[in-house]
Amino acid sequence: MKIDIKSMLPEELEASFSEIREPKYRAKQVFTWLGKGAVSFDEMSNLPKSLRNTLNERYYITVPKVIRKQVSKIDGTIKYLWELSDGNAVETVVMTYRHGNTVCISTQVGCRQGCAFCASTIGGLVRNLEPSEMLDEVLFSQIDSGLDISNIVLMGIGEPLDNFDNVVKFLKLVNHPDGLNIGMRHISLSTCGLTEKIDKLAQLNLQLTLSISLHAPDDETRTKIMPVNRGRGVDELIAACKRYYERTGRRISFEYAMIDGVNDTPFHARLLAEKAKEAGAHVNLIPLNYVEERKFKPSSRENLEKFVKILENCGVNTTVRRKLGGDVDASCGQLRRRAAKTTAEN
Ligand code: SAH
């Protein structure tokens, strides 16, 4: 069995290379090549030929294939569908802003959280992504688009905290000074609220931005649309957010998709304001995106405006998310796994 070399940190490479009696500096050379998007050992021209052959026998380099690339005519947002080495497919979105380019990556093939409004969970979880595969989403989006990526959001397909160890390894890889060197403060991780994993993440004190997909401030509404709320509850989640903030000093952000007649009444706004203040959180309202298979509708503009006013009157820091990539179905919650085969036919 060959080893997935792009999932290894330099110190792990050093340890692995010592087994084949290679000096430490070779690990740094190989790590640097991989961070530049090398697709074979043969192109690593500063390594002796004999070493390149040995590496070829012991390790493999993951290389995703672009199955489909769509570019929004409205705002230039790019959506990639990649084929992974086992034939599975995931999506990555590149958003261009004046202050820099952001890549939105998937962390799993599918998702098992079952949120009622989200397309990514239809069909359940297929498998976790490896650290190398998440790194490839950033690396090859950058190479293919020619855009410098300065920010990463873990807000694509999958629940990042449900793939905890691989996600943390990916964060260390992408943050490494000899690799892509993207600062933790330029990375946001979004979770549906696995409280025990939020505590585990807090212990690592990574300085990234944590977003919580709250979507409802009361148990009755939240349990209806987010099965993860069962057995945990909103208060347990808010308590975990407070602990996270205390431990890391990093302010949390609440994601809140406005769903017509479900979570958009003044009652919800007032209770949300209370919870946000308790957790010291900022609120990011998202107009619900239309998903064909789901029965939900976005809130009216009038309800959205009323909702914002209540939050602001309560002194809560609130933003309304701008919609990007609308014409290529690249907006929040619209990414979903499709068999590589069916999509290639489209
Ligand atoms: N599983 C993680 C990461 C996904 S991030 C999480 O739940 O946070 C994707 C974000 O888009 C989440 O906040 C999710 O709740 C939200 N979302 C899902 N479906 C949506 C839809 N139809 N419209 C707007 N936002 C949606």
**Full set of structural domains in the chain with CATH:** 3-60 (1.10.150.530), 65-345 (3.20.20.70)
**Strands, E, within the chain: which ranges?**
3-4, 59-60, 65-71, 78-83, 89-97, 100-104, 108-110, 125-128, 149-154, 187-191, 209-213, 253-258, 282-287, 318-320
Q: Is the CB of 212 under 6 A from ligand 1?
A: no
Amino acid type, 215: H
Q: Is the CB of 291 under 6 A from ligand 1?
A: yes
Angstrom distance (rounded) from CA 257 to CA 310:
16
Compute the distance from residue 190 Cα to the ligand 1 centre, in Å: 8
Compute the distance from residue 188 Cα to the ligand 1 centre, in Å: 13
Instruction: State the pLDDT at residue 344.
Output: 38
Compute the distance from residue 221 Cα to the ligand 1 centre, in Å: 16
The CA radius of gyration of the chain, in Å to the nearest whole number, is 21
Q: Is the CB of 286 under 6 A from ligand 1?
A: yes
Q: Is the CB of 138 under 6 A from ligand 1?
A: no
Instruction: State the pLDDT at residue 339.
Output: 44
The CB-based long-range contact list for 46-51 (8 Å cut-off, 24+ gap) reads 51/22, 51/26
Q: Is the CB of 299 under 6 A from ligand 1?
A: no
Instruction: State the pLDDT at residue 338.
Output: 55
User: Which distant-in-sequence residues (6+ apart) come within 8 Å of 68 by Cβ?
Assistant: 80, 81, 343, 344, 346
**β-strand 187-191 against 209-213: which pairing, if any?**
parallel
What are the residue numbers of the active site?
A: 91, 332
81-94 pLDDT, tens digit per residue, is 999 999 999 999 99
Angstrom distance (rounded) from CA 304 to CA 258:
7
Q: Is the CB of 167 under 6 A from ligand 1?
A: no
Considering all CA atoms of the chain, what is the largest pairwise distance in Å, rounded to the nearest integer?
70
Compute the distance from residue 54 Cα to the ligand 1 centre, in Å: 44
297-317 pLDDT, tens digit per residue, is 999 999 999 999 999 999 999
**Strands, E, within 51-148: which ranges?**
59-60, 65-71, 78-83, 89-97, 100-104, 108-110, 125-128
Compute the distance from residue 213 Cα to the ligand 1 centre, in Å: 7
Nearest-atom index, ligand 1, CA of 290: 22
Amino acid type, 233: G
Q: Is the CB of 166 under 6 A from ligand 1?
A: no
Instruction: Tell me which residue has its CA closest to atom 19 in ligand 1.
Output: 333
Strand partners, 213: 255
How many Cα atoms are found within 13 Å in the side-chain-facing hemisphere of 223?
9
Instruction: Tell me which residue has its CA closest to atom 5 in ligand 1.
Output: 155
**DSSP helix, strand, coil percent of the chain (3-state; round to 5):** 40, 20, 40
Contact 271, 218 (CB under 8 A): yes
pLDDT along the chain (346 residues), means of 10: 97 97 96 98 97 98 96 94 95 91 97 96 96 98 97 97 98 98 98 98 97 98 98 97 96 97 98 97 94 91 97 97 80 65 38
Contact 215, 255 (CB under 8 A): yes
Inter-helix orientation angle 131-145/164-175, to 10°: 40
